[in-house]
């Protein structure tokens, strides 16, 4: 299957500057192709993955090199209205594993024509095409002009979303999509930004921890901690945000998890569901705000390290 | 000021948390983050200090130089403040982006130290109307992680505590011309009494309550803040309201009371740390910027 290469990438540049009819004509063509591709992906998951793999391998990142954001991650869309040109990225590029589709969390940066520009803690801002976004109810249909006008109603500047990497452009910019209703806009919770190298690459990125909260470990280093939703079957795709106050017990769990993750990151331990859970359990004798004290941090992480070693050996 | 943009749901989460006295990192509304203070980190200054409050990193250097006293206060020395917002702190400070914030902070520092009892300026006088010590206090913002003013005031107090001004003698010879003689012993110096130096406590109003030591995320949720400078005895020397929201006079009163309470405990812990550091003397291992 031919890789779904975003058509006319050169269109992307004038896309948000030029608003002429001809420009939109070209983009419409591009969007249609994308949408057609989406239909295919919905039909056959593995093919979609393969296409990505193909795209990934074929692309030789030039210059500073792109990064293979294959995998789940939380994209932080650019938060500024003005758009922070290049999202800051420390360190060198990451070579993706290639196989897994990555989940990314991102925050909205800009609402452009038929696409959102999102920040994903990468070298360049990523794009989320309107056609790649879930529609309410999960219906599959061509996006109309009304959908385009209603874009801002759904995702505004500053919003956080979880999405998957669809493809990577030759310059390293990433195109995102929300493949199923488990992705989409994120509701109440806490975001922790860590270095992407500390997040272990795993098959699942959405974890429901037994302590009472859920965690999304994004490949781009964005960790989202949120209260476990009551009904697990209804996956709304983020269309309805629950604005009710989170109960105090859940808050304590979330704050503790957040501090544990910060402690693990400070001590340079890999982040995955088991290490976070062990760290949480090790921190229980201490008060939540004490976890960030250097002595307590060292003690907790040492105990976590010990338990992880015992688990392996 | 450096800021982050949050989604509506995140802001709601923070606001609700504050109402229940459990902030995102588990602190209560009146708790400070873990603070680290170290003095004497820059060698070619008369006094220096570095303060880290969570992700906020401030470096202060004090240089004592000889100058002429001001006309209206001929028998006192004075302090000059300069704040530099380095581009390291946040990309917004690139080029001249940090100038506005820097001027605002230095003006606030001037206001805080304008109170007569803060520093004994008469001790800085060498020759009335002719010579006096001028303390140039340079503040460098290394990292912006929320709550700048508090961290800056802590660092300034620590740096002034650490300042060593050489002892000078004024010799008058027969013709009447005065000569200033520096003492030979490099350790012979005068120290400043910083007991009355105030510290700033910033109280940010979030929802119906106010918090001390707000992080960047919490600052994004708060519309109005009150900056008060408190001395170690709990006296207010200066008050300033920042932010585009409004504050009820009753909440201002509550915030002032909280600020005084928190300020007093801040002073005691800071003084304890400074005295501890002082007692270690020259054998102290300096961490500086490599730790």
The partner residue sitting opposite A259, judged by closest CB among B16, B20, B26, is B26
Alpha carbons A265 and A195: distance in angstroms, whole number? 8
Residue found by looking up tokens 């980190």 in the block:
B41
Residue A129 half-sphere exposure toward CB, CA atoms < 13 A: 26
Where do the H-state alpha helices sit in B59-143? 99-112
β-pair type (A184-185, A174-177): unpaired
Cβ distance A206 to A214 under 8 Å? yes
β-pair type (A126-129, A174-177): parallel
Interchain contact, A289 vs B17, CB within 8 Å: no
Question: In this predicted complex, what is the ipTM?
Answer: 0.87
Question: pLDDT tens-digit profile of A147-201?
Answer: 777 777 777 788 888 888 888 888 888 888 887 777 888 889 999 989 989 999 8
Alpha carbons B226 and B208: distance in angstroms, whole number? 14
Residue found by looking up tokens 């959405």 in the block:
A206
Cβ distance B217 to B13 under 8 Å? no
Residue B70 half-sphere exposure toward CB, CA atoms < 13 A: 10
Q: Which of A22-26, A146-150, B160-164 is predicted with the least confidence, judged by mean pLDDT?
A: A22-26
Residue A300 has pLDDT above 70, yes or no: yes
Question: pLDDT tens-digit profile of B102-134?
Answer: 999 999 999 999 888 888 888 888 888 888 999
Residue A265 Cα distances to A295, A297, B206, angstroms: 15, 10, 29
The DSSP result for B26-46, as a single string, is S--TTPPPPEEEEE---TTSS
Q: Does A297 touch chain B (CB under 8 A)?
A: no
Most confident of B85-94, B124-133, B149-158: B149-158
Tell me the three-class secondary structure of B226-290, residue by residue.
EEEEECCCCCEEEEEEECCCCCCHHHHHHHHHHHHHHHHHHHHHHHHHHHHHHHHHHHCCCCCCC
Cβ distance B257 to B290 under 8 Å? no
Alpha carbons A90 and A101: distance in angstroms, whole number? 22
The partner residue sitting opposite A289, judged by closest CB among B12, B20, B25, is B25
Q: Which residues of B touch A157 (CB under 8 A)?
A: 5
Residue A84 Cα distances to A78, A81, A109, A121, B291, angstroms: 7, 8, 8, 11, 32
Interchain contact, A293 vs B10, CB within 8 Å: no
Predicted local distance difference test score (pLDDT) of residue A35: 34
The partner residue sitting opposite A246, judged by closest CB among B16, B23, B91, is B16
Average pLDDT of chain A is 68
Tell me the pTM. Answer: 0.78
Q: Does A246 touch chain B (CB under 8 A)?
A: yes
- Best of A106, A159, A194, A226 to substitute, by most chain B Cβ atoms within 10 angstroms, is A159
Where do the H-state alpha helices sit in chain A? 9-17, 21-43, 45-58, 145-149, 151-154, 248-266, 273-283, 294-312
Q: Which of A84-88, A267-271, B3-7 is predicted with the least confidence, judged by mean pLDDT?
A: A84-88
Question: pLDDT tens-digit profile of A208-238?
Answer: 999 889 999 988 888 999 998 876 555 566 6
- Best of B6, B8, B10 to substitute, by most chain A Cβ atoms within 10 angstroms, is B10
């Amino acid at each position: 299957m031919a890789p779904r290469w975003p058509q006319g990438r050169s269109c992307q540049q004038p896309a948000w500057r030029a608003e002429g009819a001809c420009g939109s004509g070209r983009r419409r063509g591009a969007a249609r192709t994308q949408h057609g591709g989406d239909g295919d992906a919905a039909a056959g998951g593995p093919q979609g993955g393969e296409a990505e793999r193909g795209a990934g391998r074929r692309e030789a990142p030039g210059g500073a090199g792109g990064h293979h954001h294959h995998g789940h991650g939380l994209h932080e869309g650019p938060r500024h209205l003005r758009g922070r040109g290049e999202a800051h990225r420390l360190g060198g590029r990451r070579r993706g594993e290639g196989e897994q589709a990555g989940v990314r969390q991102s925050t909205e940066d800009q609402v452009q024509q038929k696409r959102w520009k999102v920040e994903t803690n990468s070298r360049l801002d990523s794009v989320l095409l309107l056609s790649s976004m879930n529609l309410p109810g999960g219906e599959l249909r061509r996006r109309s002009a009304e959908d385009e006008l209603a874009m801002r109603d759904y995702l505004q500047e500053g919003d956080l979303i979880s999405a998957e990497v669809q493809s990577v452009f030759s310059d390293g910019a990433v195109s995102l999509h929300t493949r199923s209703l488990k992705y989409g806009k994120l509701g109440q919770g806490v975001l922790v930004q860590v270095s992407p190298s500390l997040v272990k690459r795993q098959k699942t990125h959405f974890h429901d921890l037994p302590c009472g909260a859920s965690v999304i470990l994004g490949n781009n280093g964005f960790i989202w901690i949120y209260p476990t939703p009551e009904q697990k079957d209804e996956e709304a795709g983020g269309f309805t945000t629950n604005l009710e106050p989170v109960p105090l017990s859940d808050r304590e769990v979330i704050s503790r998890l957040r501090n544990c993750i910060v402690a693990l990151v400070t001590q340079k331990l890999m982040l995955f569901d088991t290490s976070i859970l062990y760290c949480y359990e090790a921190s229980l004798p201490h008060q939540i705000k004490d976890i960030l004290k250097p002595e307590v941090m060292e003690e907790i992480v040492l105990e976590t390290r010990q338990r992880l070693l015992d688990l392996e050996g | 000021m450096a800021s982050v943009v949050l989604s509506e749901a995140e802001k709601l989460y923070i606001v609700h948390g504050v109402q229940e006295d459990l902030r995102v990192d588990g602190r209560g509304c009146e708790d400070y983050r873990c603070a680290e203070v170290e003095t004497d980190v820059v060698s070619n200054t008369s006094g220096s200090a570095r303060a880290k409050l969570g992700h906020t990193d401030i470096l202060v250097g004090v240089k004592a130089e000889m100058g002429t006293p001001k006309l209206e206060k001929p028998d006192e020395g004075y302090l000059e403040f300069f704040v530099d917002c380095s581009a390291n702190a946040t990309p917004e400070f690139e080029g001249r982006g940090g100038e506005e914030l820097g001027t605002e902070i230095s003006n606030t520092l001037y206001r805080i130290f304008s109170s007569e009892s803060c520093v004994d300026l008469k001790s800085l006088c060498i020759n009335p109307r002719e010579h006096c010590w001028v303390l140039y206090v340079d503040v460098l913002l290394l990292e912006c992680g929320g709550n700048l003013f508090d961290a800056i005031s802590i660092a300034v107090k620590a740096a002034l505590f650490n300042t060593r001004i050489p002892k000078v003698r004024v010799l008058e010879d027969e013709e009447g011309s005065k000569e200033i003689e520096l003492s030979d012993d490099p350790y012979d110096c005068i120290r400043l009494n910083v007991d009355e130096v105030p510290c700033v406590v910033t109280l940010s109003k979030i929802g119906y309550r106010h918090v001390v030591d707000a992080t960047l995320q919490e600052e994004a949720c708060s519309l109005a803040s009150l900056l008060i400078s408190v001395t170690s005895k709990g006296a207010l020397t200066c008050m300033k309201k920042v932010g585009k929201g409004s504050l009820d006079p009753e909440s201002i009163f509550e915030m002032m009371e909280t600020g005084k309470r928190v300020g007093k405990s801040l002073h005691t812990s800071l003084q304890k740390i400074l005295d501890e550091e002082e007692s270690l003397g020259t054998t102290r291992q300096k961490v500086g910027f490599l730790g």
